[in-house]
């Protein structure tokens, strides 16, 4: 581990602490001249992470912090190119690059396993944040601008354009986002959280360029910044770069940016607002009760609030969640249920969705009476202990997935750092958990928290958000009227200025920058080999594969079962079966008892399916059912017994529970559309290309969402619909019990012998499975041209082309082609010029399809035309070796992206299980590294043709006539 006190002379060492539960040392420093803080999490992990965070406190909903976050990354003093952020994505082996705008901070993080790459990115990020050019044309592109519908015709209609403008139109099409913004508007009446930091689409055009510059000058200063780093690069080395590249040029700001405390209410507030809906359903309202709590930087208050929230809402056996799930007043608990502790002052909220508008008072009364009842009767000690156990599990687990582990730790401490709290205490939960263990010995501890934080707290807001089928029309009309009024007031000179700016922006977007001024890595920096993971295979009736990995005292266990042959009805219900398998009762006990048992012994149970096409035949698949859990080493026997009991004795007779779960699933699926629209569009466009692709659409695509809605409606109307589904579940379960099984274990090597002995003893009487007729899907090869209409202010577009797959020689070039088209053409035309939040292309090896997509897109037919134009560009233009290298780097970077220790072991197990050996993957990697421009043009010409084309869009109902005229098959939910 690094020297705890070594630092650059421009910094003052404040303190250092080793956190054994995380196996890291957290070091705190302060830059002497500016007061900038630096927190370094020293680790032997070679994936180094950097983040600079700035306190950003907007005073309106114009989106200044969000638009600034985008514009800052559009060129800087040392790197005066138009788009260094996206250029560096292409010139890097980063494992993460992004920027975030929160309600009161803005952060710029990246991560890389390659030291050269890390320092390259560090230089670009530091210059971008503190010495940004903030060109007015970039503000026009990223934020908002006026433009004529025909850019060179002043007689055509005037429109608003801009990336953030359209991003927030998409974001605020989500009912959950509207609900959150509405609640915080009233919960925080007088400070920054009152406003939408991302920007309200109706307010964004009010932001001026001068406002942006003024906000940058006051907020983007080292005195208002915190530097946070993780990894094996010493703090002293990092600080030398901070000082040399940034800090030596600044002096301390005397005026500090701050978030004022909220003025507290003396009595509760009740408010009703609306959300845009296609139809007004009687039970379409959301009712949420929210309380303002204490400051998040007070760790005692924070963890008391976290414990209380967990005790009340963690799982279906938790007393408040149990009442909400079982209430006939609503369809499901609100997605906002829980604690929000990232703001300076915390908030707790709970409620229901799918409520009748007139039942608001009853929902509020239900929440309050339930809390009063819990406060009076108390909470079982084992339930409180279980929540402390869950806190310990979350503290110890080394995460992975979408965010690098080091970034997860940094983000856990960022809000505390920004608000000048104790970051080390925030990351070191063990002392807090031990103190809590003492506190909860008092039986009145939780009841007293309920009384103090909630029942006696007058700063309470009850929000009713009801569907309004005219809201979207009124909103669109208001924008049209505003634009008409602006246009009518324009002089001829002002009209020509708009035309000139549009032309200047288009020229800027089309200019070719000298990218050589940016640092880069090359193919020579790519690791030669893929990592290999040691494992031990233990044969027997239940074969076991053990991976020794650094899991920080946790054991990960998966029972893996070969999927047997299922009929069409069973296949369609397979994901629903998996989602419910661990949410039902077991044996003689009901689901509530099982939920309590899960919380007491492990990090919960989950069931899933792993299904992939074979290498040899896109219509053939391998499929596995997986029952997963994780626990601390002392609990491995209890966890294993729980997994076995669940597999053998799960109950399929809890009718009301199944109805609850189906209602909750429907709510989640409906809410996912505006956040996952591009994925849903690609799934729909690909659905005609293979049996697996078609089934993925039925399971997880738009038709899957429609099926979830229909099933919920059917179950509400008649219990026989529930009983029919339960009968299907029983058939699936019976077949799984007879199928071949194996076990996957991941844990630290020193625990291997004891874990294997314990697990073998527990599973000794698990019925031996036999080889069954294999799981299969009906072959599909057809065409689709579908448009899904829903309540959204933006579109999501996709085209999918049937290609080769598996081991075919063209697959490597198809994989590289996606990044090549995005980098060279699609990013410019769809995002920068078209105003969509995102757009690109990728090859999907599981379905053998090449897919284009756009995300939160103000356009539709123009974007589909841009997909086609990118193909023509690929075939007819000359292309450079540098562009090819960038596309290859992107593919290799995504292939090499690290996961958590447990995640990497599990991933290794499944690629082998699905027939993708290390030799196969390294051979493919070698093919990717040797792809040529000629190969890219060959695959584009061969596969990206009209005969192979399938199209899907998700868009607003207002587009129906346009889509019908284009020959789309119109579908609705």
Instruction: Report d(CA 846, CA 129) in Å as an integer.
Output: 40
Q: Please tell me whether residues 121 and 39 are part of one structural domain.
A: yes
Judge whether 324 lies within some domain: yes
pLDDT tens column, 735-758: 999 999 999 999 999 999 999 999
How many alpha carbons lie under 13 Å from residue 369 in its C-beta half-sphere? 8
Instruction: Report d(CA 658, CA 785) in Å as an integer.
Output: 35
Instruction: Report d(CA 251, CA 255) in Å as an integer.
Output: 12
By mean pLDDT, which of 394-408, 428-442, 624-638, 913-927 is the weakest? 394-408
Q: How many domains does the chain have?
A: 4
- DSSP-derived 3-state class of residue 47: coil
Q: Where are the beta strands (DSSP E) in 254-365?
A: 269-276, 285-295, 332-333, 338-340, 345-355
Query: Does 256 score more than 50 pLDDT?
Result: yes
**What is the predicted pLDDT for the residue at 913?**
96
| Pairing verdict, β 969-972 and 785-790 | parallel
H/E stretch holding 446 reads helix 445-449
Q: Please tell me whether residues 283 and 252 are part of one structural domain.
A: no
Q: Of 448, 483, 517, which closes a domain?
A: 517
Q: Please tell me whether residues 462 and 328 are part of one structural domain.
A: yes
The token duo for 690 is 């293979």
Rg (CA), the chain: 28
Tokens 């002002």 appear where?
A: 494
Contact (CB, 8 A) for 596 and 317 = yes
Q: Please tell me whether residues 926 and 798 are part of one structural domain.
A: yes
Judge whether 32 lies within some domain: yes
Judge whether 412 lies within some domain: no
Query: Does 2 score more than 50 pLDDT?
Result: no
CA angle in degrees (0–180, nearest 5) for 235-237-241: 110
Q: Please tell me whether residues 688 and 659 are part of one structural domain.
A: yes
| Residue 231 backbone zone (phi > 0: left; psi -120 to 50: alpha; other: beta) | left
Instruction: Report d(CA 142, CA 139) in Å as an integer.
Output: 5
Mean pLDDT along residues 648-665: 96
Mean pLDDT of the chain: 95
Contact (CB, 8 A) for 148 and 490 = no
Q: Please tell me whether residues 896 and 959 are part of one structural domain.
A: yes
End-to-end CA distance of the chain: 56
- Report the CATH number at residue 116: 3.30.830.10
Q: Residue 18: beta bridge partners?
A: 25
Mean pLDDT along residues 24-49: 96
- DSSP-derived 3-state class of residue 973: coil
Q: Residue 956: beta bridge partners?
A: 790
Judge whether 168 lies within some domain: yes
Confidence band (pLDDT; 50, 70, 90) for 23?
Answer: confident
| Residue 915 backbone zone (phi > 0: left; psi -120 to 50: alpha; other: beta) | left
Confidence band (pLDDT; 50, 70, 90) for 3?
Answer: low
Q: Of 763, 798, 814, which closes a domain?
A: 763
Query: Does 106 score more than 80 pLDDT?
Result: yes
Mean pLDDT along residues 299-324: 95
**What is the predicted pLDDT for the residue at 4?**
60
DSSP structure string for 232-257: SS-HHHHHHHHHHHTGGG----SSPP
Q: Please tell me whether residues 302 and 205 are part of one structural domain.
A: no
CA angle in degrees (0–180, nearest 5) for 917-919-921: 70
Q: Where are the alpha helices (DSSP H) in 834-917?
A: 861-876, 881-895, 901-913
Q: Please tell me whether residues 281 and 230 are part of one structural domain.
A: no
Q: Please tell me whether residues 226 and 368 are part of one structural domain.
A: no
Q: Please tell me whether residues 752 and 867 are part of one structural domain.
A: no
Instruction: Report d(CA 530, CA 518) in Å as an integer.
Output: 28
Judge whether 845 lies within some domain: yes
pLDDT tens column, 556-614: 999 999 999 999 999 999 999 999 999 999 999 999 999 999 999 999 899 999 999 99
Q: Does residue 689 or residue 255 have the better pLDDT?
A: 689
Q: Please tell me whether residues 821 and 727 are part of one structural domain.
A: no
Model pTM greater than 0.85? yes
Judge whether 443 lies within some domain: yes
Q: Which of 69, 345, 397, 583 is catalytic?
A: 69
Query: Does 657 score more than 70 pLDDT?
Result: yes
Tokens 């099409």 appear where?
A: 173
Neighbours of 903 (CB within 10 A): 18
Instruction: Report d(CA 10, CA 31) in Å as an integer.
Output: 6
By mean pLDDT, which of 148-157, 382-391, 396-405, 954-963 is the weakest? 396-405
Instruction: Report d(CA 470, CA 130) in Å as an integer.
Output: 45
**What is the predicted pLDDT for the residue at 18?**
94
Confidence band (pLDDT; 50, 70, 90) for 397?
Answer: confident
**What is the predicted pLDDT for the residue at 960?**
94
Confidence band (pLDDT; 50, 70, 90) for 832?
Answer: very high
Judge whether 951 lies within some domain: yes
Confidence band (pLDDT; 50, 70, 90) for 846?
Answer: confident
Range of the domain at 856: 785-972
Query: Does 408 score more than 60 pLDDT?
Result: yes
Judge whether 3 lies within some domain: no
Portion of the chain with pLDDT greater than 90, in percent: 90
Q: Please tell me whether residues 541 and 674 are part of one structural domain.
A: yes
DSSP structure string for 505-566: HHHHHH----GGGS----GGGS-SS------EEE-SSS-EEEEE---TTEEEEEEEEE-B--
Burial of 276 (0-12, 13-18, 19+ CB in 10 A): buried
CA-based nearest residue to 476, from 957, 868, 964:
957
Burial of 64 (0-12, 13-18, 19+ CB in 10 A): buried
Mean pLDDT along residues 548-559: 94
Instruction: Report d(CA 530, CA 525) in Å as an integer.
Output: 14
Annotation marks residue 382 as catalytic:
no
Q: Residue 623: beta bridge partners?
A: 611
Q: Of 483, 517, 551, which closes a domain?
A: 517
| Cα 447–chain centre separation | 35
Query: Does 16 score more than 50 pLDDT?
Result: yes
């Amino acid at each position: 581990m690094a020297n705890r006190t070594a630092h650059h002379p421009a910094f003052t060492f404040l303190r250092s602490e080793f956190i054994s539960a995380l196996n890291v040392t957290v070091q705190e420093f302060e830059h002497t001249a500016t007061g900038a803080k630096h927190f370094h999490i020293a680790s032997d992990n070679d994936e180094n992470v950097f983040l600079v965070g700035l306190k950003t406190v907007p005073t309106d909903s114009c989106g200044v912090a969000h638009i600034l976050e985008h514009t800052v990354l559009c060129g800087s003093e040392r790197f005066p190119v138009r788009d260094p952020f996206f250029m560096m994505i292409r010139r890097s082996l980063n494992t993460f690059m992004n920027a975030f705008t929160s309600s009161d901070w803005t952060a710029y993080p990246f991560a890389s396993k390659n030291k050269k790459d890390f320092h390259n990115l560090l230089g670009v990020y530091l210059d971008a944040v503190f010495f940004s050019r903030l060109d007015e044309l970039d503000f026009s592109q990223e934020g908002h601008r006026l433009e004529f519908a025909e850019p060179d015709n002043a007689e055509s209609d005037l429109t608003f354009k801009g990336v953030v403008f359209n991003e927030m139109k998409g974001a605020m099409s989500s009912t959950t986002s509207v609900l959150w913004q509405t609640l915080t508007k009233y919960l925080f009446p007088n400070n920054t959280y009152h406003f939408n930091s991302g920007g309200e689409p109706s307010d964004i055009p009010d932001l001026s360029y001068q406002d942006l510059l003024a906000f940058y000058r006051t907020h983007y200063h080292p005195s208002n910044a915190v530097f946070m780093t993780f990894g094996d690069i010493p703090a002293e080395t990092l600080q030398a770069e901070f000082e040399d590249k940034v800090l030596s040029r600044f002096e301390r700001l005397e005026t500090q940016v701050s978030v004022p405390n909220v003025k507290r209410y003396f009595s509760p507030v009740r408010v009703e607002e609306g959300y845009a809906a296609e139809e007004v359903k009687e039970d379409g309202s959301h009712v949420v009760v929210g309380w303002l709590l204490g400051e998040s930087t007070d760790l005692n208050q924070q963890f008391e609030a976290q414990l209380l929230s967990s005790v009340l809402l963690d799982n279906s056996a938790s007393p408040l969640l149990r009442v909400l799930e079982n209430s006939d007043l609503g369809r499901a608990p609100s997605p906002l249920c829980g604690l929000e502790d990232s703001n300076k002052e915390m908030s707790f909220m709970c409620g229901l969705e799918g409520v009748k508008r007139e039942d608001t008072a009853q929902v509020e009364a239900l929440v309050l009476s339930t809390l009063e009842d819990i406060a009076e009767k108390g909470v079982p000690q084992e339930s409180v202990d279980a929540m402390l156990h869950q806190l310990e599990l979350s503290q110890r687990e080394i995460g992975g997935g979408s965010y690098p582990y080091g970034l997860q730790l940094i983000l856990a401490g960022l809000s505390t750092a920004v608000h000048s709290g104790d970051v080390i205490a925030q990351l070191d939960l063990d002392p807090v958990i031990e103190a809590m263990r003492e506190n909860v010995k008092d039986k009145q501890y939780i009841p007293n928290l309920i009384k103090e934080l909630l029942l006696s707290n007058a700063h309470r807001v009850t929000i009713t958000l009801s569907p309004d089928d005219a809201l979207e029309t009124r909103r669109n009309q208001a924008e049209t009227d505003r634009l008409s009024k602006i246009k009518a007031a324009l002089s001829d000179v002002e009209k020509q200025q708009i035309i000139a700016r549009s032309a200047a922006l288009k020229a800027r977007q089309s200019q070719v920058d000298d990218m050589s001024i940016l640092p880069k890595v090359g193919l020579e920096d790519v690791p030669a080999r893929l990592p290999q993971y040691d494992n031990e295979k233990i044969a027997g009736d239940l074969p076991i594969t053990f991976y020794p990995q650094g899991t920080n005292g946790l054991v990960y266990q998966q029972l893996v079962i070969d999927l047997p042959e299922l009929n069409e009805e069973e296949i369609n219900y397979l994901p629903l079966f998996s989602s419910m398998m661990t949410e039902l009762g077991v044996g003689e006990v009901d689901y509530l008892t099982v939920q309590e048992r899960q919380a007491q012994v492990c990090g919960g149970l989950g069931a899933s399916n792993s299904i992939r096409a074979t290498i040899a035949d896109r219509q053939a698949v391998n499929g596995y059912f997986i029952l997963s859990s994780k626990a601390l080493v002392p609990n491995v026997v209890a966890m294993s017994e729980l997994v076995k009991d669940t597999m053998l004795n799960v109950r399929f007779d809890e009718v009301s529970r199944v109805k609850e779960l189906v209602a909750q699933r429907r709510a989640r699926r409906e809410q996912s559309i505006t956040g996952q629209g591009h994925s849903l569009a690609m799934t729909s466009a690909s659905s005609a290309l293979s049996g697996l692709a078609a089934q993925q659409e039925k399971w997880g695509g738009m038709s899957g969402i429609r099926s979830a809605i229909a099933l919920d409606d059917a179950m509400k109307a008649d219990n026989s619909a529930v009983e029919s589904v339960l009968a299907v579940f029983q058939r699936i379960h019976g077949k799984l019990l007879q199928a071949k099984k194996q076990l996957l274990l991941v844990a630290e090597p020193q625990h291997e012998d004891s874990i294997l002995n314990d697990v073998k003893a527990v599973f000794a009487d698990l019925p031996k499975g036999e080889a069954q007729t294999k799981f299969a899907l009906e072959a599909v090869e057809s065409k689709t041209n579908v448009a899904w209409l829903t309540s959204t202010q933006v579109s999501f577009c996709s085209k999918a082309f049937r290609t080769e797959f598996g081991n075919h020689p063209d697959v490597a070039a198809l994989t590289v082609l996606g990044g090549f088209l995005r980098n060279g053409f699609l990013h410019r035309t769809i995002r920068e010029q078209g105003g969509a939040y995102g757009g690109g292309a990728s090859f999907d090896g599981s379905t053998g399809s090449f897919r284009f997509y756009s995300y939160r897109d103000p356009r539709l037919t123009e974007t589909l035309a841009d997909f086609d134009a990118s193909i023509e560009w690929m075939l007819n233009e000359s292309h450079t070796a540098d562009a090819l290298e960038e596309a290859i780097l992107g593919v290799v970077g995504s292939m090499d992206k690290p996961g958590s220790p447990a995640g990497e072991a599990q991933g290794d197990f499944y690629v082998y299980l699905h027939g993708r050996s290390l030799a196969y993957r390294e051979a493919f990697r070698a093919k990717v590294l040797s792809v040529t421009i000629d190969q890219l043009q060959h695959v584009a010409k061969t596969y990206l043709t009209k005969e192979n084309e399938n199209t899907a869009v998700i868009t607003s109902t207002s587009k129906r006539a346009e889509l019908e005229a284009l020959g789309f098959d119109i579908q609705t939910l």
